[in-house]
Amino acid sequence: MKKDNSIGYLGPEFLFWIFWKSATEETLSLNNLGLGEIRISIEDSITLASLAGNGYCETIKSPEILTLPSVRESIKQGRLPEAAKVRISSSELEWSFQVKAIPFKISSVKLPITGEKNENSMISVRLIAMTKLELILKALFNTFLLERESLDFIDDIKDFLGIAE
Protein backbone atom coordinates (compact mmCIF):
# COMPACT_ATOMS: atom_id res chain seq x y z
CA MET A 1 0.00 0.00 0.00
CA LYS A 2 1.26 3.39 -0.91
CA LYS A 3 1.79 5.69 2.06
CA ASP A 4 1.79 9.37 1.29
CA ASN A 5 1.19 12.59 3.19
CA SER A 6 -2.59 12.11 3.23
CA ILE A 7 -4.57 10.37 5.96
CA GLY A 8 -5.36 7.46 3.65
CA TYR A 9 -3.90 4.95 6.09
CA LEU A 10 -6.99 5.31 8.29
CA GLY A 11 -9.23 3.73 5.63
CA PRO A 12 -7.80 0.20 6.00
CA GLU A 13 -7.73 0.54 9.79
CA PHE A 14 -11.36 1.71 9.79
CA LEU A 15 -12.41 -1.21 7.57
CA PHE A 16 -10.55 -3.60 9.88
CA TRP A 17 -12.37 -2.04 12.85
CA ILE A 18 -15.71 -2.58 11.06
CA PHE A 19 -14.75 -6.22 10.45
CA TRP A 20 -13.72 -6.63 14.11
CA LYS A 21 -16.88 -5.02 15.50
CA SER A 22 -19.20 -6.88 13.17
CA ALA A 23 -17.54 -10.18 14.14
CA THR A 24 -17.74 -9.54 17.89
CA GLU A 25 -20.71 -7.30 18.64
CA GLU A 26 -24.33 -7.82 17.68
CA THR A 27 -25.07 -4.09 17.78
CA LEU A 28 -23.22 -0.83 18.25
CA SER A 29 -24.80 1.93 20.27
CA LEU A 30 -24.90 5.38 18.72
CA ASN A 31 -27.50 6.54 21.26
CA ASN A 32 -25.21 9.32 22.47
CA LEU A 33 -25.49 10.82 18.98
CA GLY A 34 -29.24 10.26 18.65
CA LEU A 35 -28.87 7.46 16.10
CA GLY A 36 -29.90 4.50 18.27
CA GLU A 37 -28.59 0.98 18.01
CA ILE A 38 -27.18 -0.14 14.67
CA ARG A 39 -26.00 -3.44 13.28
CA ILE A 40 -23.02 -3.43 10.97
CA SER A 41 -21.49 -6.32 9.10
CA ILE A 42 -19.03 -7.20 6.41
CA GLU A 43 -20.89 -9.38 3.95
CA ASP A 44 -19.89 -11.83 1.26
CA SER A 45 -16.46 -10.45 0.38
CA ILE A 46 -13.40 -8.69 1.72
CA THR A 47 -10.19 -7.78 -0.08
CA LEU A 48 -7.02 -7.82 2.01
CA ALA A 49 -3.80 -6.16 0.88
CA SER A 50 -0.28 -6.53 2.22
CA LEU A 51 1.14 -3.72 4.32
CA ALA A 52 4.65 -4.75 3.26
CA GLY A 53 4.23 -3.09 -0.11
CA ASN A 54 4.90 -6.31 -2.01
CA GLY A 55 1.67 -6.01 -3.99
CA TYR A 56 0.08 -9.12 -2.46
CA CYS A 57 -3.70 -8.85 -2.42
CA GLU A 58 -6.42 -11.45 -1.91
CA THR A 59 -10.19 -11.37 -2.08
CA ILE A 60 -12.06 -13.77 0.14
CA LYS A 61 -15.69 -14.47 -0.71
CA SER A 62 -18.04 -16.37 1.55
CA PRO A 63 -21.44 -15.93 3.19
CA GLU A 64 -19.63 -16.74 6.48
CA ILE A 65 -16.92 -14.11 5.97
CA LEU A 66 -16.99 -13.01 9.62
CA THR A 67 -16.25 -16.48 10.98
CA LEU A 68 -13.66 -17.68 8.47
CA PRO A 69 -10.30 -18.33 10.17
CA SER A 70 -8.54 -17.51 6.89
CA VAL A 71 -9.52 -13.83 7.16
CA ARG A 72 -8.02 -13.46 10.64
CA GLU A 73 -4.94 -15.45 9.57
CA SER A 74 -4.44 -13.14 6.61
CA ILE A 75 -4.70 -10.10 8.90
CA LYS A 76 -2.20 -11.67 11.30
CA GLN A 77 0.19 -12.04 8.36
CA GLY A 78 0.20 -8.28 7.80
CA ARG A 79 -2.76 -7.61 5.52
CA LEU A 80 -5.52 -5.09 6.08
CA PRO A 81 -8.85 -4.65 4.33
CA GLU A 82 -8.64 -2.74 1.07
CA ALA A 83 -12.30 -3.19 0.10
CA ALA A 84 -15.42 -4.86 1.46
CA LYS A 85 -19.15 -5.14 1.09
CA VAL A 86 -20.84 -3.61 4.14
CA ARG A 87 -24.40 -3.76 5.45
CA ILE A 88 -25.73 -1.34 8.07
CA SER A 89 -29.14 -1.73 9.70
CA SER A 90 -30.96 0.52 12.12
CA SER A 91 -34.33 -0.22 13.66
CA GLU A 92 -36.21 0.93 10.57
CA LEU A 93 -33.71 1.18 7.69
CA GLU A 94 -31.03 -0.95 6.03
CA TRP A 95 -28.27 -0.04 3.58
CA SER A 96 -25.67 -2.08 1.73
CA PHE A 97 -22.70 -0.73 -0.20
CA GLN A 98 -19.12 -1.29 -1.28
CA VAL A 99 -16.30 0.39 0.64
CA LYS A 100 -12.85 1.10 -0.76
CA ALA A 101 -10.19 1.98 1.83
CA ILE A 102 -7.73 4.12 -0.16
CA PRO A 103 -8.96 6.61 -1.07
CA PHE A 104 -11.81 6.03 1.34
CA LYS A 105 -15.09 5.99 -0.54
CA ILE A 106 -18.36 4.16 -0.68
CA SER A 107 -20.13 3.12 -3.86
CA SER A 108 -23.06 1.06 -5.09
CA VAL A 109 -25.24 2.17 -2.20
CA LYS A 110 -28.47 0.24 -2.00
CA LEU A 111 -30.95 2.49 -0.24
CA PRO A 112 -33.79 1.11 1.86
CA ILE A 113 -37.09 0.41 0.12
CA THR A 114 -39.79 2.30 1.96
CA GLY A 115 -42.92 1.46 0.01
CA GLU A 116 -43.85 5.06 -0.71
CA LYS A 117 -46.28 5.34 -3.66
CA ASN A 118 -46.15 9.10 -4.20
CA GLU A 119 -43.01 10.09 -6.15
CA ASN A 120 -42.37 13.23 -4.08
CA SER A 121 -42.72 11.28 -0.84
CA MET A 122 -40.43 8.54 -2.16
CA ILE A 123 -37.74 11.07 -3.10
CA SER A 124 -38.04 12.76 0.28
CA VAL A 125 -37.77 9.48 2.20
CA ARG A 126 -34.77 8.37 0.12
CA LEU A 127 -32.98 11.68 0.76
CA ILE A 128 -33.62 11.26 4.47
CA ALA A 129 -32.22 7.71 4.25
CA MET A 130 -29.07 8.99 2.52
CA THR A 131 -28.65 11.69 5.17
CA LYS A 132 -29.07 9.16 7.98
CA LEU A 133 -26.47 6.85 6.38
CA GLU A 134 -24.03 9.76 6.21
CA LEU A 135 -24.64 10.55 9.90
CA ILE A 136 -24.17 6.90 10.86
CA LEU A 137 -20.90 6.63 8.91
CA LYS A 138 -19.57 9.82 10.52
CA ALA A 139 -20.59 8.53 13.96
CA LEU A 140 -18.93 5.16 13.30
CA PHE A 141 -15.72 6.85 12.17
CA ASN A 142 -15.70 9.09 15.25
CA THR A 143 -16.28 6.04 17.48
CA PHE A 144 -13.42 4.24 15.73
CA LEU A 145 -11.09 7.21 16.30
CA LEU A 146 -12.00 7.40 19.99
CA GLU A 147 -11.48 3.65 20.48
CA ARG A 148 -8.23 3.79 18.51
CA GLU A 149 -6.83 6.19 21.11
CA SER A 150 -7.77 4.02 24.10
CA LEU A 151 -4.99 2.29 26.02
CA ASP A 152 -6.56 -1.16 25.54
CA PHE A 153 -6.99 -0.89 21.75
CA ILE A 154 -3.91 -2.90 20.72
CA ASP A 155 -4.47 -5.55 23.39
CA ASP A 156 -8.12 -5.92 22.31
CA ILE A 157 -7.03 -6.39 18.69
CA LYS A 158 -4.48 -9.02 19.74
CA ASP A 159 -7.17 -10.84 21.72
CA PHE A 160 -9.53 -10.75 18.72
CA LEU A 161 -6.87 -12.11 16.39
CA GLY A 162 -5.62 -14.68 18.91
CA ILE A 163 -2.11 -13.25 19.07
CA ALA A 164 -0.22 -14.25 22.20
CA GLU A 165 2.04 -11.77 23.94
pLDDT of residue 8: 58
At residue 143, the pLDDT reads: 93
3-class state of residue 153 by DSSP: helix
CA distance 24 to 160: 8
The overall average pLDDT reported for the chain is 87
Over the Cα atoms of the chain, what is R_g?
17
pLDDT on residue 42: 93
Model pLDDT, residue 153:
93
pLDDT single digits (tens) 62-97: 989 888 898 999 999 889 999 999 999 988 889 999
Low-confidence residues of the chain: pLDDT under 70: 1-8, 165
What is residue 133's predicted lDDT score, i.e. its pLDDT? Answer: 93
pLDDT at 1: 41
pLDDT score for 56:
84
Closest CA relative to residue 140, chosen from 44, 15, 47, 54: 15
Entry pTM: 0.87
Say if residue 108 is exposed, middle or buried (CB neighbours under 10 Å; 0-12, 13-18, 19+): exposed
